Each structure stands twice: as structure tokens, then as C-alpha cells.
Structure 1
Amino acid sequence: MNDEPRVSAEQMIGRLPLSPWARIRAAVALTAGLAGAVFVGALWITEPGPLPGGTRLAFALLTVFCLAWACYGGWVMTHRAPLFATDRVIAAWLALTASSVTTAVVTTIAVQRGTGPILPLATGGVLVAATVVLAVRAHARRATLLRRKRELSGE
């Protein structure tokens, strides 16, 4: 008979360290997000005169996107165990949201200026399509891992 206590899948996962590359990616997301937020915030604050509503909205959205990436990087850095597919799902949704909103804002500005929506819609469409593919792949990978975990733990 084996007298050692059984270790659950959750306990085993909790003991795994975060890989060096995952730490580097998280540190880059955290640093770039904070730097971007500071940069955009500094540009926003130092703009002379009252800004149009669309410009204020663009500055606010860019600042929020940068802070979201910084929060994501900080969240990954503070978890001792690897997040496996969850971090990719979150990153994919951040990228999809940022690319969709940016496409909408840039297209709206282009239409208001009379330059036409074709170029911003085409460029944004490519970015949104790429992030949709990443989000679908991340969700599928996470579902596969969760299904495998249930199989192994006998749930």
C-alpha cells in the first residue's frame, strides 16, 4: 500500500512554476501597457486648447486599452502557477476589443473628415479578423484542456 497522500490536479497545477517566457511576455505587457498609458496621458494633458469630443474619446480609449494590458500583465505576473489557456483567452479578448473599437473610432473620424471609410475599414477588418481567429483558437485550446482535465480527474 502507498501511504503518500493523493495530490489533486489543482494542487499539482499550483506547484508548477510560471515559465520564463511567460514571465517575459507578462512583463512586456505590463511595462508596455504602463508606458503607453503614461505616453498617451501625457499627450492628452499637454494638448493645447479644448479638444473635440472625438479626440477626447480617442485619448480615453487608448489610455483604457493601455491600462487593460498593464492589468493583464500584472495579473499574470502575480500568479505563481501557469494560467495555461486562460491567459490566452483574456489576451485574445483584449486584442479583439481594442482592434474593434479602434477600427470604429478611426473609421468614424475618417468619415467625419471626408476621407472615406474604405482604408480604415479594410485595415481594421484585417486586424479584427486576425484577433477573431486568435480568440477562437484560444477558446478551443482552453476547452480542450478543460475537457482533458475532467477526463484525467474522473469528473
Structure 2
Amino acid sequence: MNEEEPRLSAAELIERLEPSLAPRRRVRAVAALLAGLAGTVFLAALWGSEPGPLPGRTNLAFALFTAFCLAWAGYGGWLLGRRVPLFATDRVIAAWIALAASVTTTAIVAVVAAQRGSGLGVALSTGGLFVAVSAALAVRAHARRAALLRRKRELTGGAES
């Protein structure tokens, strides 16, 4: 018998190389979803239980932190719902959320420290460390995505899918 082995297309080969959601990515997605939802519930409860009217800056800070928690929850939900290879898009999105959150948090903490007249150096150095780490992760995520997309183009002969 001369049975011919089935040949896979480049797209099928790529899909088999990187499943849509590996177990580690699924755990990360669930963790992001749960942490984002828990943070949102916690901040909303804290914000809503504050006595009296809050200053505008405080309301802005609560709103921004709640938005970041919702962004992580949305990211986790989006990642769980994906059924196609992501080519590191998930890493790029997570890195940008982390960078935005660290820059915003550093700015808020620095403003508060400056207004109080103490701890500005600690706020800026600690926040700067978080910003630097999240920026490095963003650069790394973009590089990984570019490498995967380059490899995909090599496998598919330049055709985009």
C-alpha cells in the first residue's frame, strides 16, 4: 500500500505549533480576569463607602485605578475568548496596560508627595523602577511578536492571514 501522508498547510502547521490558549496562558488569563474583577469590586466598595464628598483629585484617582482594574479584567476575558493563535499580541497588550498603570500611578503618587512636601524622591524612584520594568516588558513583548510574525511570513511564503 502506498498511502500518501496528509500534508498540512502553513496555517494548519502554525496553529498546531501554537495552540490558541495553552494551559499556562489560560491560568494567566483567569488570574488577570479574577484580579481585575476583585480590584474593581474592592475599589468600588472603598470609593462608595467614603464619607462625605471627596476632592476631585481623589475621585480622579479612584476612577483611574478602577479603570485599570477593568482593563485587566477585560484583558483576561478577551484572552479566554480567543480561539486563534495570538502571535504574542496578548503579551503586547498586557505590557501596555502595565506601562500605562505604572506611569499613571507614579504620577499620582508623585503629585501627592509633592503636595505634602515629603517623600517625592522615594515616590519617583520607586515609580521609576516600575515604569522601567514595564517599559522593558513592552519592548520585549513587541520584539517577541515581531519575531513570531516574521516566522509566520516565512512559513506562509509572505501571505498574511
User: What is the TM-score when the length of structure 2 is the normalising length?
Assistant: 0.88
Give the equivalent residue in structure 1 for 2:145.
142
Following the alignment from structure 2 to structure 1, what is the Cα–Cα distance between the partners of residues 130 and 86? Answer: 25
1:100 to 99, 103, 121: 103
Supply the AA of the counterpart residue of 2:87. Answer: F
**What's the counterpart of residue 75 of structure 1?**
78
Shift of 1:3: 9.7
Which stretch of the first structure deviates more once superposed, 5-14 or 129-138? 5-14
Amino acid at match of 2:48: I
- What's 1:21 paired with? 24
Deviations 1:12-63 (A, max 9, x none): 5289341111111100000110010010011000000111111111100110
Distance 1:17 1:56 in 2: 39
* Cα RMSD after superposing both structures: 2.1
Counterpart-to-counterpart distance in 2, 1:12 and 1:127: 35
Matches within 5 A, 1:1-155: 7-9=9-11, 12-13=14-15, 16-155=19-158
SS class of match (1:51):
coil
Deviation at 1:115, TM superposition (A): 1.4
How far apart are residue 84 of structure 1 and its match?
3.4
More displaced 10-residue stretch of structure 1: 81-90 or 99-108: 81-90
Q: Secondary structure at the match of 1:149?
A: helix
CA distance in 1, matches of 2:98, 2:12: 29
The question of whether the paired residues in 1 share the 8 Å contact of 2:20 and 2:82 is answered with no
Q: Which amino acid aligns with 2:22?
A: S
How many aligned residue pairs are there? Answer: 155
- Tell me the amino acid that sits aligned with residue 97 of structure 2: L
Secondary structure of the residue aligned to 1:146 is helix
Contact 1:54 1:109 in 2 (8 A): no
Over the matched positions of the two proteins, sequence identity in percent amounts to 61
TM-score (norm 1): 0.91
